[in-house]
Amino acid sequence: MTHLGFERAADAADASHRLGTGPGAQILAGGTGTVDLMRLGVTAPERLVEILDLRAEHAAILFGRAGASIGALATMAEVAAHPAIRARWTAVAEALNQSASPQIRNAATIGGNLLQRTRCAYFRDAASPCNKRRPGTGCSALEGGLTWDLAILGTSPHCIANYPGDLAVALSALDASITVVGADGNWRSVAVEDLHREPGERPDLDTVLGAGDLILAAHLPELHWSRSSYLKVRDRESYAFALVSVAVALRLEEGRIVDLRIVLGGLATKPLRCRAAEEAVRGRSLDLHLAAQAAALCLEGAQVDAERAFKAEQGRRAIARALLAAGGHEKAACRVVFRGGF
Ligand code: FAD
């Protein structure tokens, strides 16, 4: 029988202390990801440090001159339903509302959502070789397995698992950051854009965070954007992970795009910002042609095989559609969907 320790942290300092004391500790927030992976035998922590009592101090959604601050223990449902988040940081509410199910959104937290692990079937099957789960054992997907729903961007010869979450994609587009306290008690800020890692030689390292790091809050800078939106394409319209997702934040002046950020989910090993496409669009008036050009740039360097070829085409259309819709060109966006004629 495996021994599992269970501890309840009273506050952030207590949680940091517990995480920094002895090996094998893992944070337990809503538990919707952690318990799932333990049941599957994918992870086997020695101690769970439950942090739900931190809700007293770290679940509030606050607004100030610098923007919004969302406590890491706020639930996905609380953030998605907040009127100011819905009205001003629309992509965040849209991403959360299209995530998981209402039951999961009621239990799952913002910190846990950002750190969810890939849904790659081989990672979740404890019997299959997987470099992310057990470094050096190989990649079952690349070695003759099914690849159809996996990443086509940011991959490495060791791993093509895609990042499954929605929220981090929207937060990256809005230039958000997180506050993290380390096991040593020191606080630091990490841009959400820089939080996740491409697999490279170390697919087992999903993020830049260390073992004892605790996320305390996410910060959305005061609005620089005229509008933001999140488009998710999936197998069914609810309760499914993204095959492709696109978050767009745009600043428009007299019809011209003076600034924008485009971030992809579903297609890549991490929420992926498309700087080349952003450069191509900045300063210009948006039309079908420009959206198509930007979409093609986003997918430059995509690694596709016969199974995943559809994701490149789906990605191209989703990006163009998201850009046009965010720019107020609804009719042109429909043309992309129904005719592919661009
Ligand atoms: P936990 O399960 O408690 O923790 C998850 C991970 O984060 C663990 O490694 C934990 O140690 C760590 N962690 C938690 N909080 C912190 C913190 N404050 N600081 C540092 N580390 C922390 N997500 C989507 O985005 N889109 C979807 O469509 C979607 N569909 C889903 C469908 C199903 C059936 C399920 C089970 C999940 C789905 N999810 C989806 C994932 C779900 O959103 C996550 O499981 C959930 O957000 C995790 O939050 P949690 O509070 O339960 O985290």
CATH number at residue 42: 3.30.43.10
Q: For 282-305, what is each residue's pLDDT tens digit?
A: 999 999 999 999 999 999 999 999
Q: What is the CATH number of the domain that holds 311?
A: 3.30.390.50
Residue 169 domain-assigned?
A: no
**What is the secondary structure of 281-294 as a DSSP string?**
HTTSB--HHHHHHH
Q: Quote the number of domains for the chain.
A: 2
For position 341, what pLDDT does the model report?
Answer: 53
**Beta-carbon neighbour count of residue 75 at 10 Å?**
22
Give the model's pLDDT for residue 204: 98
pLDDT surpassing 80 at residue 339: no
In a domain, 192, yes or no: no
Q: What residues make up the domain containing 42?
A: 5-50
CA 221, 227, 231, 237 torsion-angle sign: positive
Residue to mutate, 26, 32, 208, 215, ligand 1, most ligand atoms under 8 Å from C-beta = 32
- Whether the CB of 16 sits within 6 Å of ligand 1: no
Asked if residue 59 is part of any domain, the answer here is no
Mean pLDDT of 146-174: 98
Domain assignment of residue 115, yes or no: no
Tell me if 152 sits within 8 A of 161, measured CB to CB: no
Residue 319 resides in a domain: yes
Lookup result for tokens 């002895």 = 22
Question: Atom 13, ligand 1: which residue's CA is nearest?
Answer: 112
- Establish whether residue 167 lines the binding site of ligand 1, counting it when its CB lies within 6 angstroms of any ligand atom: yes
pLDDT at residue 338 in the model: 58
Domain-located, residue 87: no
Minimal-distance CA residue to ligand 1 atom 14: 112
pTM passes above 0.85: yes
User: What is the average pLDDT across 97-123?
Assistant: 98
Q: Which helix (H) or strand (E) holds 153?
A: none
Going by alpha carbons, the residue nearest to atom 4 of ligand 1 is: 112
**Mean pLDDT, residues 2-13:** 93
Q: Is the model's pLDDT at 265 over the cut of 80?
A: yes
Is the residue at 193 inside a domain?
Answer: no
pLDDT tens digits, one per residue of 32-83:
999 999 999 999 999 999 999 999 999 999 999 999 999 999 999 999 999 9
Q: How confident is the model at residue 194 (pLDDT cuts 50, 70, 90)?
A: very high
Cα–Cα distances in angstroms (integers) from residue 115 to residues 164, 166, 182, in the given order: 10, 11, 15
Of 73, 47, 42, residue with least CA distance to 60 = 73
Domain membership flag for residue 39: yes
Mean pLDDT rounded to a whole number for the chain = 94
Q: Cα separation of 142 and 38, whole Å?
A: 25
